[in-house]
């Protein structure tokens, strides 16, 4: 994706740090979770209704006022495998958890846990596609691509009612 295809972006400071949302004419295409210590300069893009709506919905979620999202995503940037995995992850409801292995079983490819983990690691729209709801089989919180990494994943899971000690669900 290049900047000429972007229709707009919005930036906001949130409880998990700076969040930047980007959209194309087709829908939201990227959510950057830049963390608390980020230095960010707003790109010179026009503001789009979709990027504004996406950021508004993310803020509602982060403040406990929303449990699901209803906005278009630009899926043209996903590989076919990512599209399938992200759709499965999007079906994980607020407060629910799945493991990489469970998603591999759902996909009917029991050996695909690592590939699913790889797709989650490259999720361009975290929160909107809730990859934070996918954990290791033993409850460990594995990598999260936000600037503050596992701390952000922990915060999001605790927001949804889970208890996390260290880097593991209890």
Q: Where are the domains of the chain?
A: 3-62, 77-163
Q: What is the pTM of this model?
A: 0.88
Determine what percent of the chain falls in helix, strand and coil, rounding each to the nearest 5.
35, 20, 45
Residues 77-99 have pLDDT tens digits of: 999 999 999 999 999 999 999 99
Q: How is residue 78 annotated by DSSP?
A: S
CB 37 within 8 A of CB 20: no
CATH class entry, domain 77-163: mainly alpha
User: Six-digit token pair at 82?
Assistant: 């990512």
Question: Which residues are designated catalytic?
Answer: 131
Q: pLDDT: is 9 or 163 the higher one?
A: 163
Q: Cα angle at 141 between 139 and 142, to 5 degrees?
A: 120
Residues 10-38 have pLDDT tens digits of: 888 899 989 999 999 899 999 999 887 65
């Amino acid at each position: 994706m290049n900047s000429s295809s972007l229709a707009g972006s919005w930036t906001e400071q949130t409880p998990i740090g700076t969040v930047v949302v980007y959209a194309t004419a087709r829908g939201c295409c990227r959510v950057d979770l830049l963390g608390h210590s980020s230095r960010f300069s707003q790109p010179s893009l026009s503001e789009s209704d979709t990027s504004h709506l996406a950021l508004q919905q993310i803020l509602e979620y982060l403040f406990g006022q929303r449990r699901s999202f209803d906005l278009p995503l630009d899926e043209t940037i996903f590989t076919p495998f990512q599209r399938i995995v992200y759709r499965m992850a999007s079906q994980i409801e607020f407060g629910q958890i799945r493991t990489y292995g469970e998603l591999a079983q759902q996909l009917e490819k029991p050996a695909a846990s690592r590939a699913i983990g790889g797709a989650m690691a490259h999720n361009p729209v975290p929160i909107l596609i809730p990859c934070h709801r996918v954990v290791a089989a033993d409850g460990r919180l594995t990598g999260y691509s936000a600037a503050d990494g596992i701390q952000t994943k922990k915060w999001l899971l605790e927001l949804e009612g889970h208890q996390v000690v260290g880097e593991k669900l209890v």
